[in-house]
Amino acid sequence: IGNAGAASFAEGMTACPQLQTVNISSNRIGDAGAAPFAEGMKACRQLQTVNISSNSIGDAGAASFAEGMKACPQLQTVNIHWNSIGDAGAASFAEGMKACPQLQTVNIHWNSIGEAGAASFADGMKACPQLRTVNISYNNIGSTGAALLREVATRKGIKLDTY
């Protein structure tokens, strides 16, 4: 659907405040499409599951998405894998996580997250009391980033995939 389609889709979301699940994966929305999508999320406070994987979303798009997350306290599952999110985007995403107390599953594998992003993400994990599963494999988190994530996961009983 591309950027324009994402904007139209987001406009439609505003008419569906009870929306609980959105799958907009593999639509080439990029950062430019992630911004209006995040605005649409703000109208859907009952949103529980979002899949925006495989969309060429980078750090700016992740920052936009994180702002949308902050308006969705019921969010339980986020799938944002196969994008181009780096350390700055991971830091933004971690801030969004902090506003989602019901978050249980995050799949953020196959991005470009390094050690600094892993440290931010570990901080976000600490703020999610219901978090049970995290897949952050196929990033560049290194041994230090993996150790930080493992420490939080072990303490909180989170199933962590860092492959």
**Cβ proximity of 48 and 79 under 8 Å:** no
Among 139, 10, 115, 114, smallest CA distance to 71 is for 10
E-assigned strands of 24-152? 49-51, 77-79, 105-107, 133-135
Residue 47: Cβ within 10 Å count:
27
* pLDDT tens, per residue, the chain with 163 residues: 999 999 999 999 999 999 999 999 999 999 999 999 999 999 999 999 999 999 999 999 999 999 999 999 999 999 999 999 999 999 999 999 999 999 999 999 999 999 999 999 999 999 999 999 999 999 999 999 999 999 999 999 999 999 7
What predicted TM-score, i.e. pTM, was given to this entire model? 0.97
